[in-house]
Structure 1
Amino acid sequence: MSFDGDTLWVAFGLMLIVEGLFPFISPEGWRQKMVQVLALHNGQIRFFGLACVFVGLLMLWWLG
């Protein structure tokens, strides 16, 4: 599987679409969720970020 510049921009565009859906569909729910995220400790946020990276790498490995 080869990645070029276009693939990176397509992936970035898809990420923006997915990230924008929840605030578009339910702005009040998104706001409440952000308040909950702000209440988390740094270690909890880091763990969630690491889990997302790990799942993303697994997806790339599985699809590749």
Structure 2
Amino acid sequence: MIETTLLALGLVLIVEGLVYALAPSIVERMLEALRDVPQEARRTLGLLALISGLLLVWAAKLLGA
């Protein structure tokens, strides 16, 4: 279990790092655009992302990861 958690965390950090390293100006524009999104909508999107991530991890575990 800990191996899967570390793998997932590492993959997230790689993707996040690539975004900030390759396109920092796009990140700034996205953050500015997020300010215009109501807090409740951001919360809903966050919960949907959380649930999607959990489902993906669950599916990966079922497939033998």
Please indicate the TM-score interval, normalised by the length of the shorter structure. 0.7 to 0.9
**2:15 corresponds to:** 18
Aligned match for 1:37, one of 34, 51, 56: 34
Runs of 4+ in 1 over 3 A off after TM superposition: none
Structure with more relative contact order (C-alpha pairs < 8 Å, separation 6 or more): 2
* Aligned AA (1:20): G
Residues 8-37 of structure 1, C-alpha deviation per residue, up to 9 Å, x if partnerless?
222211111111211211111111011111
CA RMSD, 1 decimal = 1.4
Q: How many residues align?
A: 61
Segments of 5+ residues of structure 2 without an aligned counterpart are none
What TM-score, normalized to structure 1?
0.78
Segments of 5+ residues of structure 1 without an aligned counterpart are none
Residues 31-54 of structure 1, C-alpha deviation per residue, up to 9 Å, x if partnerless?
101111122211011111011011
**1:46 corresponds to:** 43
